[in-house]
Amino acid sequence: MTTPAIAAADWGTTRLRLWLLDAQGNVVAERRGDDGMTSAREKGFSTVLEDHLAALGAPDTLPVVICGMAGARQGWLEAPYVDVPATLAEVLRGAARVDDARRDIRIVPGMAQRLAEAPDVMRGEETQLAGAKLAGRGRHLVCMPGTHSKWVRVEDGGVAGFGTWPTGELYSVLAAHSILRHSLGDRPASVAADNLHFRRWCETALENGGDVSSRLFSIRAAGLLQGLGPDDAAACLSGLLIGGEIASARRRHEAGKEPIILITSGALGVLYSAALGLAGLEIQPVDADEAVRAGLFEAANHNGMIAGGTTA
């Protein structure tokens, strides 16, 4: 195989994704694991990482750049937050170095918004943002859907502010632990973006400006009174929560005419594209996997980790 120049890892709470990249940032090899921060705390971060590197046949001296929850206080090594407003270059340059490792390992810091009325944090998304190749000038509004969806206001290459909507977490917690478990059943089918219930409930939430809690119980009642089945109930809940997120975020971040940069991939990207369309918003899609890889490669370059690379 081509000689790798760097290993890049997106290490979240529940998942690890690892790539070997050449000196131009092209993928040489890839690996995914379920040993996110939570399980790595038990096995040891170094052990988990070295096992995955060995499985990919990575050389002993290959440097590793990491983003995500591995840099949290409960992670491998705390990479202290960079406060907004800040440029993405400032963030990438702040990578923390793991001292006792036999190879060069650095962890990209997260970002913090220390506002009394809207404190917020992110870890991992800042790297995706850096890799999304936004135009250096102008205002962008970026939507990054997920367990904890982030909406980020980017101005002239810097992060001006951001917010978190725990849409994915609300969905799974309500589906498993609330009265809606009776409506959704054990294994509802994955939601399709052209499901009429998804679209109708999304529109309702958009009209209600992000007021979601007033409609949650209606999903249960629609099962009792109108025979709504489990798959459609799942579509209602998904549409309601995603529509509510978009209504709320567009107001809070004063979305204008410019397209929303949607950084995502897979099925979730399809649902958000549909929902943003229902909201009358244009989108400019960016693949989340490519973005985080490009951001990690840029972080490696910024920190002089790639032989012959361009140090900023």
Give the footprint of a second copy on this chain (CB under 8 A): 73, 81, 112-114, 116-121, 148, 163-167, 169-170, 173-174, 176-179, 204, 208-218, 220-222, 224-226, 241, 244-245, 247-249, 251-252
Q: Residue 243 belongs to what H/E stretch?
A: helix 230-252
Question: Shortest approach of a second copy to residue 254 CB, angstroms?
Answer: 14
Residue among 168 and 295 whose Cβ is closer to a second copy = 168
To the nearest 10 degrees (0 to 180), the angle between helices 230-252 and 213-226 is: 160
Question: Shortest approach of a second copy to residue 172 CB, angstroms?
Answer: 9
Question: Shortest approach of a second copy to residue 222 CB, angstroms?
Answer: 5
Question: Shortest approach of a second copy to residue 192 CB, angstroms?
Answer: 21
Residue among 20 and 112 whose Cβ is closer to a second copy = 112
| 20 Cβ neighbours under 8 A, 6+ residues apart | 4, 6, 7, 8, 27, 28, 29, 30, 56, 58, 62
Rg (CA), the chain: 20
Give how far the C-alpha of residue 182 lies from the chain's centroid of Cα atoms, to the nearest Å.
30
Residue among 209 and 304 whose Cβ is closer to a second copy = 209
Q: Give the span between the Cα atoms of 236 and 219, in whole angstroms.
A: 7
Question: Shortest approach of a second copy to residue 169 CB, angstroms?
Answer: 6
Question: Shortest approach of a second copy to residue 151 CB, angstroms?
Answer: 9
Residue among 19 and 165 whose Cβ is closer to a second copy = 165
| 177 Cβ neighbours under 8 A, 6+ residues apart | none
Residue among 45 and 151 whose Cβ is closer to a second copy = 151
- Residue 213 half-sphere exposure, CB side, CA atoms within 13 Å? 0
* Type of residue found at 291: A
Q: List, in sequence order, the alpha helices (H) in 153-226.
A: 167-177, 181-184, 196-207, 213-226
Helices and strands counted in the chain (H then E)? 11, 15
Residue among 105 and 122 whose Cβ is closer to a second copy = 122
Q: Give the span between the Cα atoms of 164 and 119, in whole angstroms.
A: 10
Residue among 73 and 102 whose Cβ is closer to a second copy = 73
Question: Shortest approach of a second copy to residue 11 CB, angstroms?
Answer: 17
Beta-bridge partners for 165:
149
Q: Are 206 and 241 in contact (CB under 8 A)?
A: no
Residue among 78 and 90 whose Cβ is closer to a second copy = 78
Q: Are 253 and 260 in contact (CB under 8 A)?
A: no
Q: Are 17 and 64 in contact (CB under 8 A)?
A: no
Question: Shortest approach of a second copy to residue 39 CB, angstroms?
Answer: 17
